[in-house]
Each structure stands twice: as C-alpha cells, then as structure tokens.
Structure 1
C-alpha cells in the first residue's frame, strides 16, 4: 500500500475530529492550539478517548463525552511533568558526573575513561568516546578553548574534570555501566548513591537517561510504555516503597519516579520532589488517570513520598 493522503488545513483537522465525536467548546481557541501544536503531537493525548481503537472497521470514533479541552489539559499536565522530572534528573546527572570524575581519577588517573582495560565492552567504549569527542569539539566553553590553546601538543582528551563536564548523561551512564566490576570505584559510587553495589545502579541510570532524552526532546511521558527495565534492591538501605511494582509494570513511569526520588533523597535531603509531584497530580486529578502512569493506590502515603 502506498500512502497517498494529502495535507489538510487546520479547519479540516477540526472538522474531522468533530465528525468522529470529539467535542469543541471554542473553535477559534482550538485553531490557535493547532497552529502551534501539530495534529499528531496532540493525537497521543486523545488516543485513549477512541472507542474500539483496535478494530479496523471502527474509524477512530470517540467515546461519548470526549472533549478537546481534556486533550489540552493532558498536554499541559505532561509538559509540567516533564519539567519537574528534568529538574530532578539534572541533580542526579551532576552528582554522577562529579563522582565519576573524583573517584576514578584518584583510583587510576585523569584519563581513565580512555583506558580500554578498565571496560568490559571495548566496542561500546569506542562508540561512547566518539560521542564524547563530538561533544568536546562542539564546545564553546572558555576552559576548553584555553586547554586546547595551551596544550595543543597533547593529543589526548582533556583530563576527566574538563572532558566529562561536557559529556551527556547518556554517555556518563554508559561509561559507568561498562566499567569492569573489579573497578573499586564502581562499587563506591553505587554505595554513595544508595544502590549498595554495581549490580543495580547501571539499570537505574540507563532508565533515567532514556527518560531524560524524552524530556529533552519534548516527547510524551503520559501513557507511554517505557522501553527500559530496572533491577530493584531487595532491601534498600534508605526509604523505599512497600507496594513495589511487578516486572511487567516497569514499562510505566511510576517505578522510575520512585528511583529518582530515592536517589534525590540521597543527593539532596531534604527536597520538595514529593510535594511538587503531589501538587501536580492534584491539580489535574479530573483529567489524569494515575493508572496510565502506573501509580499505585495509596502511593501518597508511602514513606518514600513523605
């Protein structure tokens, strides 16, 4: 089959949705939204409003009482959720970067991240170093310009305390996860972040890095199946949840939010992540189904979230 649908105007987009049963209170306001937010970006928020969406003969007709204003409410909720999460991840990223630089530079030397003998998968390391090289070359930071000017005969990367300051969270998490388990700093960093040892922290960081990328690219988090999975500590040394999600529930955001809260409690105690998340959920309680994010009944009473 060849795709042959032509583009349609904003007025035609709204008319199509009306024909399918989506209710609009203010057509002019709706036109303004569609002029700034694309049809298919908003489609992710009205998709659950379809009835029988898996049946080919049903052409995406909406359930009764489906309203465009609720679509916009979900869109706004998702935006605020991403901003909240991005702020939390920033603190986790800075902490991880600091610990990698400090512990591994002291255990080995400032160029430990180039030492292939320290890593399990050298092919993966090559790819990571290529990304880091791109980030370093792209940098306009004064300290990097001065380094290149002063040490132009030194063909190595700048030392870790300069290079890794420019490195993305994804590359940092890959460096950490790829370290051999015999590297002492790998366990030290995990212990300092409350993850006990190297067994658990790599999957946490990989998950958080994926979610960070969704936030950075303005991708939908609400009602999204996350691709990553995580290994959970059987007996965490700090506050955790009693009602722990099962493996099949790891595709939802809730368990990953719990891990972020757990790490943030170690990195920045006290913090207001719990208050800000509860306030956001309360504000949109008439629009947001907590189950679409994997929230458990009674999550507000969990010790982790208090």
Structure 2
C-alpha cells in the first residue's frame, strides 16, 4: 500500500485520522508495521461484527503512546546502564581479589565445565576481534595468558555474557560478594540480571516496552520489607509485566546511584501516559502509595 492507501485503510477500519499530512509523516518515518503494535490494544476482539477499531480510536493517541514508550525505553536504559556498570565493577573486583587478574579463567570456579568453556570460547572470539584500544594494547604487549585481565574483559563483554559468567560461579559465597553492593542476595540477583538483560535488549533495539510481557521471569525477594511491600506479588502465570521490573530497577539504582533522581523522572513520565493505562504494565491500583515509591 502507498501511504495514502494505508491512511484510507485505517479510516475504513474505524480509526480517526485528524491530520492526513501528519499521519503520512509518521507512516513514512516510523512505519505502519511498527505503529501497529501500539494500536493493537484498541482493536476489537477477532470475530467482532463491525469495525476493527473500538469507537473513538484516534491516530494521534497511537503516536502519543509511541512517544511515551520511546521516552520510557530511554529512561529504563539509563537506569540499567548504571546498574550494569556497577555489576561489572563488582564482578571484576571480587574475581581479582579471589585469585588474581586472571582467576576468572580457572575452570574449577564454575559449576558446569561445559558452560564455562562455551562462555570462554565466546569471550575469546570477541577479544580476538575487538577494536577497543585497551584490548589491542594488551594483545600487542602480552601473550601469556592470551586473555586480558578480568577488569578488561568486564568492560567489553555484553550484559548477557556478564550475567552468564556470574550465574555459573560455583561458590555461593563468591556470588554473594559480587551481589553485596546491590543490597540483594545472589539467589535474587542472578535471575534478576538475566531478566534485566532482556529488558535492556528491548530498549536498545527500540522494541515496544510499555505493555510487553517478558518470558524470562525474575525471582522476587523476601526482604527488605519495604521492597516486598512495593512489589506486586499476585500470582500471574503469564509473562512478567514491567511493574516489578521498574520496582527492582529503582531499588538497585538507589544502591548504586542514590542521587540519580530517576524515580521522580519515572513518576513524571507515567503521568503523561496518553490513556492512563498503567494496568497494562502491571501497575496495581494504589501503586503510588506503596513504600518504595514514597521512599524519596
């Protein structure tokens, strides 16, 4: 379809398009398919006799929702970046003090040798092709061992890789030393990092976030009480919604960067949701009166 045909098609299906030129601009620069993820909640159920869209569905609401989601992604990515950097530093520090600059290469530290060798092979390939100046400096000046020290590889591996190296450590006490600066035990932090890695990737790849369900779930903590009372613990067998992710991001961020002001920015953004549909993100009724949201 041409852009004009796409607009005509949406109107025929019951969507209000107040400004044709503006709608064409959005369809040209964002695309029909990407926007369709944002008008999906406004569609009538399949088999409904009548127009595809619910009465009053407006193209301007769809684009406002898209803009809300874009700002939400940037805000979440900003928080996860600071959490990720803190975890990288804690992992490198704990491993270096556990056995030296290259102790992460000790296969006996890991619960599954096969997974260790898979992680190492992946990391070695990245080291071999890395354009980073500090990695090139190591390659030019050192050849034994071939892999750089832990503080270098901590900076170049992906968040997903970091999560896998951390979670595969055999010694629970060592995992807890890495987790200690976050204020959460390793039994909670390990699955949380896997979850946050998928959230981060959604943000980094510009995927829809606001009402997304995440198949990689997190383990909810049992303390401190303030955090537990803020989380939504109602049993939900489906994919994890964003509310609990945001609660735990805020908790972690307060540990690693207590002056960030992130919580107030998030609250301000949530007030701009075009339809007020925070329930689709997993927000419970009265969420703003729960302890963590009153913390700062």
Q: C-alpha separation between the residues in 1 aligned to 2:278 and 2:31? A: 25
1:119 corresponds to which of 110, 117, 127: 110
Answer 1 or 2: which has greater helix percent. 2
Any gaps of 5 or more consecutive residues in structure 2? none
Q: CA deviation at 1:132?
A: 2.1
Q: CA deviation at 1:176?
A: 0.8
Q: Deviations over 1:167-214 (max 9, x none)?
A: 11111111111111x25321112232111x321111111111110000
Q: CA deviation at 1:261?
A: 0.7
Aligned-residue Cα RMSD (Å) equals 2.0
Pick closer, same or farther for the CA change 1:52–1:113 going to 2, 3 Å: same
Q: CA deviation at 1:240?
A: 4.8
SS of alignment partner, residue 22 of structure 1: coil
Pick closer, same or farther for the CA change 1:101–1:59 going to 2, 3 Å: farther
Q: Deviations over 1:33-76 (max 9, x none)?
A: 111112111110000111113x3x76871000000001101100
Q: C-alpha separation between the residues in 1 aligned to 2:29 and 2:251? A: 37
Equivalent in the alignment of 2:217: 229
1:44 maps to 2:37: yes
Greater mean alpha carbon deviation, residues 23-32 or residues 222-231? 222-231
Greater mean alpha carbon deviation, residues 130-139 or residues 43-52? 130-139
Q: C-alpha separation between the residues in 2 aligned to 1:252 and 1:60? A: 29
Q: CA deviation at 1:128?
A: 2.4
1:27 corresponds to which of 11, 20, 24: 20
Equivalent in the alignment of 1:219: 207
Pick closer, same or farther for the CA change 1:238–1:176 going to 2, 3 Å: farther
Note if contact 1:52-1:58 (Cα within 8 Å) is conserved in structure 2. Answer: no
Equivalent in the alignment of 1:102: 93
Pick closer, same or farther for the CA change 1:179–1:29 going to 2, 3 Å: same
TM-score (norm 2): 0.92
SS of alignment partner, residue 140 of structure 1: coil
Any gaps of 5 or more consecutive residues in structure 1? 1-7
SS of alignment partner, residue 241 of structure 1: helix
Q: CA deviation at 1:227?
A: 1.0
Equivalent in the alignment of 2:233: 245
Note if contact 1:230-1:250 (Cα within 8 Å) is conserved in structure 2. Answer: no
Taking the TM superposition and a 5 Å limit, the aligned residue runs for 1:122-141 are: 122-141=113-132
Task: Tell me how many residue pairs correspond in the alignment.
Answer: 293
Note if contact 1:252-1:294 (Cα within 8 Å) is conserved in structure 2. Answer: yes
1:304 maps to 2:292: yes
Equivalent in the alignment of 2:73: 82
Q: CA deviation at 1:156?
A: 2.3
Note if contact 2:229-2:290 (Cα within 8 Å) is conserved in structure 1. Answer: yes
Q: C-alpha separation between the residues in 1 aligned to 2:49 and 2:37? A: 18
Q: Deviations over 1:93-133 (max 9, x none)?
A: 00000001001111122223322221123333333223323
Q: Deviations over 1:122-181 (max 9, x none)?
A: 333333223323432343222211111111x3252111111111111111111111111x
Q: C-alpha separation between the residues in 2 aligned to 1:119 and 1:59? A: 59
